[in-house]
Amino acid sequence: MMQLKVKFFASLSEQTGFTETTVDTDSPSTVLDAWQLATGDQTMPVNTLCAINMTYAHLDDSISDGDEVAFFPPVTGGCA
């Protein structure tokens, strides 16, 4: 059994209704699997970005037990 922490930020948090949740899975998983498990198969918006353990990742990257997976929209820091 594998346990993951899944976080959502900004508009994705509002859309999914989650800021942070924990999911359990007993099969090898990818970042996309984490989204589906955590959101109950909600549609993922175009341009969604993701990270594993605070490093940018791709949806087909593998995840491991204890990983923190995050989903967020395009970033808008800085200014002008």
Partner 1 sequence: MTALLRGGAFDPWQELAQIEAGFVKGKHGACASFVGTMRDFNVGDSVHSMILEHYPEMTQQFLDTICIEAARRWSLIDCLIVHRYGEIKPGEPIVLTAAWSAHRAEAFDACRFLIEELKARAPFWKKETTDTGERWVHDAPDE
Strand partners, 62: 30
List 44, 51, 59, 61, residue binding partner 1 (CB under 8 A): 51
Q: How far is the CB of 23 from partner 1 (least distance, A)?
A: 19
Q: From 28, 18, 23, select the one nearest 3 (Cα to Cα).
A: 23
List 2, 9, 25, 36, residue binding partner 1 (CB under 8 A): 9
Q: Alpha helix (H) ranges present in 1-80?
A: 10-16, 31-39
Is residue 1 part of the contact set for partner 1 (CB under 8 A)? no
Compute the distance between CA of residue 64 and CA of residue 19 in angstroms, rounded to an integer: 21
Residues lying near partner 1 in the complex (CB under 8 A): 7, 9-11, 47, 51, 54-56, 70, 72-80
